[in-house]
Amino acid sequence: MNKPEVVMIGLGYIGLPTAALIAQNNTYVHGVDINPSIVETINQGKIHIVEPELDTAVAEAVKEGYLKAATTPVQANTYLIVVPTPFKAKNEPDISFVEAATKAVLPLLKENDLYIIESTSPIGTTEKMMELIYTERPELQDKINIAYCPERVLPGNVMYELVHNDRVIGGVNEKSTEKAVAFYQQFIQGALHKTNARTAEMCKLVENSSRDVQIAFANELSLICDKANINVWELIELANKHPRVNILQPGCGVGGHCIAVDPYFIVSDYPMESKIIGKAREINNYKSFWCAEKVQTAKLEFELKHGRKPSIALMGLAFKPNIDDLRESPAKYIAQKVLQNSNNEAYYIVEPNINDHKVFKITPYQEAVDKADIFAFLVAHDEFKTLEISSDKVILDFCGVRK
Ligand SMILES: NC(=O)c1ccc[n+]([C@@H]2O[C@H](COP(=O)([O-])OP(=O)(O)OC[C@H]3O[C@@H](n4cnc5c(N)ncnc54)[C@H](O)[C@@H]3O)[C@@H](O)[C@H]2O)c1
């Protein structure tokens, strides 16, 4: 491989597709991951994650010699940081992975280099990393370019969206912004919007918080409507006939590693100001608890009415329809909570997108349909829409899949 132009730190759901895209444009990329088995897989031209079209992109880039993976970085001109930013206990963001990645490239940096963070980050992270770099390498002060550019791709459509989505790019100064824009222009067809680093960081957090708040509104309506004996799905459909109203659909909570996580990055730093954002997180979390309680109540009512224990089907575990990803899944939380309260009832846990799970025994949905008395629909998977369930069964439709 020729001398790499780009070092990509973190070869996961975002870093690997981005590395492959850059390499496909005949730019030499040195990918770095601390996980040796990921490095080995990639160097064989294979991938460790599920993402359409990524396998061919990586195979081609490795074969052509434009992408190589390793566990340590080497010198290049551009460094991209795409490592995880989870949250710790008390919902505080954990930027230790970004710090570790920055420390790994610190000794390699030279004048005119470009350092970009893509990881979703709390406000001020890019400036913190700039201070870290300049403290350790004072001779580079104002001589390298430092920017933040968040990622907003949708898993399942990453290879298309990486190229076509608009991007927000914020440097720590104008020169850094311009340098970063010039870098992304080589690979991206979407518009590149210039701003400063703090605004770019906040922009990513706000996008997901905005979704969370809107979903919380729908979930709150579902709680009110349940008490008021109003069909929430019909209500929302009617309200949305207003030309300027667009209420989202309620569900059994909010999951995944973005919408259910990123708002905490704002709330933990600005607790007094971010009232709606914090409340939305509470409402969406409460909705999952409420669903679990509803299942419990349905069980007791069934037993009182029929003089025997019911069998219960929990329909779906993923965090959204038609995927196999259970990260931060409210359906998984509800299943755990319901099973904690089990009292010798039979349970059928259904998730058509996975075959087995280390905690839950997965039942095929047809078997659950034949055997269960109570159906709690937690995820609106396509398979559940047309299932024939006899009218004497109890149906708890938390996600509107049977509406
Ligand atoms: N996945 C998404 O849909 C998505 C969308 C937008 C933004 N993001 C953000 O992008 C960032 C990365 O997310 P992801 O989904 O790609 O994560 P991921 O967990 O799939 O991948 C991150 C990779 O980084 C590696 N890593 C950790 N520390 C490292 C270090 N010091 N040096 C080298 N490698 C290291 C891990 O082994 C892992 O393979 C996160 O901040 C996330 O919030 C993700």
How many Å apart are CA 353 and CA 355, to the nearest integer?
Answer: 7
Q: What pLDDT score was predicted for residue 194?
A: 98
| β-pair type (394-397, 145-148) | unpaired
The C-alpha angle 102, 132, 146, rounded to 5 degrees, equals 65
CB of 32 closer than 6 A to ligand 1? yes
CB of 14 closer than 6 A to ligand 1? yes
Residue-wise pLDDT for 329-351, tens only, equals 999 999 999 999 999 899 999 99
Q: Which residue's CA is minimally distant from atom 3 of ligand 1?
A: 155
Q: Where in the chain is the domain with CATH 3.40.50.720?
A: 6-190, 232-397
CATH of domain 6-190: 3.40.50.720
33 Cα–ligand 1 center, Å? 10
How many Å apart are CA 351 and CA 322, to the nearest integer?
Answer: 10
Percent of the chain exceeding pLDDT 90 equals 92
One-character DSSP codes across 308-321: S--EEEEE--SSST
pTM equals 0.92
CA R_g for the chain = 24
Q: Which residue's CA is minimally distant from atom 33 of ligand 1?
A: 33
CB of 84 closer than 6 A to ligand 1? yes
The preferred substitution site among 151, 154, 207, 209 for testing ligand 1, maximizing ligand atoms within 8 Å of CB, is 151
CB of 10 closer than 6 A to ligand 1? yes
How many Å apart are CA 190 and CA 148, to the nearest integer?
Answer: 17
Residue-wise pLDDT for 195-234, tens only, equals 999 999 999 999 999 999 999 999 999 999 999 999 999 9
Q: Which of 68, 149, 179, 204 is catalytic?
A: 204
97 Cα–ligand 1 center, Å? 9
Q: Which of 149, 252, 258, 399 is catalytic?
A: 258
Q: What pLDDT score was predicted for residue 403?
A: 83
CB of 17 closer than 6 A to ligand 1? no
Query: Nearest-CA neighbor of 83 among 91, 94, 68?
Result: 94
**Annotation marks residue 258 as catalytic:** yes
CB of 205 closer than 6 A to ligand 1? no
CB of 156 closer than 6 A to ligand 1? no
CATH 3.40.50.720, domain 232-397, yes or no? yes
One-character DSSP codes across 14-79: THHHHHHHHHHTT--EEEE-S-HHHHHHHHTT--SS--TTHHHHHHHHHHTTSEEEESS----SEE
Atom of ligand 1 nearest to the CA of 100: 31
Position 152 pLDDT exceeds 80 = yes
Residue-wise pLDDT for 88-130, tens only, equals 877 889 999 999 999 999 999 999 999 999 999 999 999 999 9
Which residue is it, tokens 């990055």? 265
